[in-house]
Amino acid sequence: MRYFFWSCHSIRSGTSCRKYALVFNVLLSLWWSDIACAGQKIIVITSSALPAYQRAATALEEQMEKTGLSSSYTTDFWSLDEAKANAAITPVIKRQDLVIVAIGSAASDYAVHHFVDSLIICSFITRNAFDTIGADLPSNNTVTAVFIDQSIERLIRMSTLLRKNQSPYKIGLLGQGVLPDQYMMTGAAGTAQDIEVNARVLSLNENPIKQIEPIMKDSHVFIIRPNTSLFNRLVAKLVLQLSMRYKTPVIGFSEKYAKAGALLSLYASPENIGIDTSNLLNEWLYSPLKLKPTARDGKEFSLVINHRIARKLAMVLNAEQLKSALQKMEEK
């Protein structure tokens, strides 16, 4: 059941706002009393009304129904503004039998600082954002996450499916933060001796073209990972221009990136995120010891191909076949 709040100016009657406010407060108190007495409750908080967050929440709700969670737990859906509106009642909800699912980094940041002692799953969030949010939390906190960004291992496996008998196969990787060492990255493909990964993190103090062009020029495929502070429109445009200059296919991180000129993008859709979040929630709540699952990359993913770019690169690709091949690689 979804709860919504109304403002005084929306009530069209002669009764004063003060009286309506009194009635509202009584109803709200009764509602929170119900929360305090309920044995099993899940609250889903979305960061905003953006369609992507709402789609993730809808997919979460549908998956919970499929797995039977909805029959065991009462679920409420709030916006972040609604959660903040109830900040005064925060002490009531410091309970261990309350589960919070926060969709988006803003909702996650709010949840971990206001729902003390509750189980919290942060969803629709990057690994970097989760690490930042959790930096000041105690090590024994009951917070976990489903990350939206794709793992380096998955991206490298995807890149090997584009291989055309090149040996060694050179993969360029433009990443964020601290990258795994060379052994871990090449080992992800299973043929480390025949693959070279040239990874680079953009520096704000250097000219981006001087950082990107050498890698693009010397790679058979180029992977770009998201970073909100560095990967702006200018850098995206630069990457795609260099891709065409050197005929190097780019694997992007969003549907928009593929539309803009990447050969393909591997990403988590809101629906993928909703399903992964429900599955993690199901694993947590139904485990015999209620052990906290580790924060993880999502299992579900989407793949989109820019066929116009594929033709320019003389490549014939099928999204369903590539997705199926990647899934089989991950099952091994």
Name the phi and psi angles at 179, rounded to 5. Answer: -95, 150
Residue 229 confidence (pLDDT)? 57
For residues 236 and 2, the model is more confident at 236
CA distance 157 to 167: 16
pLDDT digits (tens, 9 = 90+) for 105-128: 999 999 998 887 788 999 999 988
CA 78 to chain centroid, in Å, comes to 19
Fold match between 8-147 and 152-267+301-331?
Answer: yes
Residue 228 confidence (pLDDT)? 57
Domain ranges for the chain, please list them: 8-147, 152-267+301-331
pLDDT digits (tens, 9 = 90+) for 163-219: 988 989 999 998 765 555 554 555 555 545 689 999 888 877 888 899 899 999 999
Secondary structure string (H, E, C) spanning the chain: CECCCCCHHHCCCCCCHHHHHHHHHHHHHHHHHHHHHCCCEEEEEECCCCHHHHHHHHHHHHHHHHHCHHHHCEEEEEEHHHHHHCHHHHHHHCCCCEEEEEECHHHHHHHHHHCCCCEEEEEEECHHHHHHHHCCCCCCCCEEEEECCCCHHHHHHHHHCCCCCCCCEEEEEEECCCCCCHHHHHHCCCCHHHEEEEEEECCCCCCHHHHHHHHHHCCCEEEECCCCCCCCHHHHHHHHHHHHHHCCCEEECCHHHHHHCCCEEEECCHHHHHHHHHHHHHHHHHCCCCCCCCCEECCCCEEEECHHHHHHCCCCCCHHHHHHHHHHHHHC
Q: Which residues contact 25 (CB under 8 A, 6 or more apart)?
A: none
What single letter denotes the amino acid at residue 38? A
CA distance 277 to 282: 9
pLDDT digits (tens, 9 = 90+) for 131-140: 988 887 776 6
Q: Helices 233-246 and 208-217, interaxial angle, to 10°?
A: 30
Indicate the Cα dihedral angle 98, 103, 104, 108, nearest 10°: 0
Q: What is the DSSP letter of 49?
A: S
Q: What is the DSSP letter of 254?
A: S
- Count how many residues are written for the chain: 332
For the entire predicted model, the pTM comes to: 0.81
Residue 122 confidence (pLDDT)? 97
CA distance 209 to 213: 6
Peptide bond into 168 cis (omega under 30): yes
Q: If you search the block for the tokens 């770019």, which residue do you land on?
A: 309
Residue 13 confidence (pLDDT)? 45
Q: 57: pLDDT confidence band, cut at 50, 70 and 90? A: very high
**Structural fold of domain 152-267+301-331:** Rossmann fold (3.40.50)
The pLDDT of residue 36 is above 60: no
Q: 6: pLDDT confidence band, cut at 50, 70 and 90? A: very low
CA distance 74 to 72: 7
CA distance 8 to 16: 9
Residue 67 confidence (pLDDT)? 92
* Mean pLDDT of all residues in 134-161: 88
Token reading at 241: 């221009």
List residues bridging with 42 in a β-sheet. 75, 99
Q: How deeply is 149 buried, as exposed, middle or buried, from its count of CB atoms within 10 A (0-12, 13-18, 19+)?
A: buried
* Three-state DSSP class for residue 111: helix
Token reading at 98: 């309350």
CATH class of 8-147: alpha beta
Q: 30: pLDDT confidence band, cut at 50, 70 and 90? A: very low
Cβ pair 195, 216 in contact under 8 A: no
